[in-house]
Amino acid sequence: MKVFDVRDITEGVDAALAVVENPAHRHMLKNYRRHALLEVSGHWEDILIPAMTADHPVYRITERGRTLVLDGMAEVRAFYSGIVSEGANVFGALEENVAVSDHGIFIEAVFAQVVRGTDPALAGEDVEPGGVYQVSHNFAACWPYREGRLAGEYIYDDSGSWRVDEVDPAALISPAEARALLAPSLARSPLSEIEKGLALFTR
């Protein structure tokens, strides 16, 4: 069984960047890459700046039959702030296929998070409070882009694919550790590259 390693969160988008040549499509992929690194590093405020995200983003996140709708910047800001303040931002894809079109980014992935047995994500599961577990599930997503900026996230999970596996405690890392591990990758996805790419959409 594959266990989540935060250093691998850009593997899917990196594979897409290795073959996509269209400059506008590459810009969206680079935005997606930087967004993921910022989110898992806890730098959520830097996701929601004008160069990265539209003024009025709309998120629709469906998990296990429940849908959360975030309509506008204030609600999206509160969502990210809550995740990071709870220390729940260390997650990502175990496997990910990423495609891109003029509309935006399309994703099919196995998403995972490693948590303690007391984590709310394990509520109702038959786990030991002192154990460490990987929670994983399949999902598909569309991230629409407008004029080179993220306009929203529409995420739909496969509720029948959710699984919980006990893993080595060494697989559990803190948000601070994730931030340090991802710093080199984030340095290779600078904001200046994103700002430069926006010129592709103003011609």
pLDDT in tens, 59-87: 999 988 899 999 999 999 999 999 999 99
Return the SS3 of 111.
strand
Every domain of the chain and the residues it spans: 6-201
The DSSP H or E segment spanning 24 is helix 23-41
The DSSP H or E segment spanning 61 is strand 53-63
Contact 56, 189 (CB under 8 A): no
* % residues pLDDT > 90 (the chain): 94
- Does pLDDT of 43 surpass 80? yes
Q: Which CATH architecture has domain 6-201?
A: Roll (3.10)
- Does pLDDT of 26 surpass 80? yes
- Does pLDDT of 203 surpass 80? no
Q: What is the spatial distance between Cα 48 and Cα 78, in angstroms, rounded to a whole number? A: 11
Phi and psi torsions of 148, nearest 5°: 85, 0
Q: How confident is the model at residue 175 (pLDDT cuts 50, 70, 90)?
A: very high
Contact 117, 131 (CB under 8 A): yes
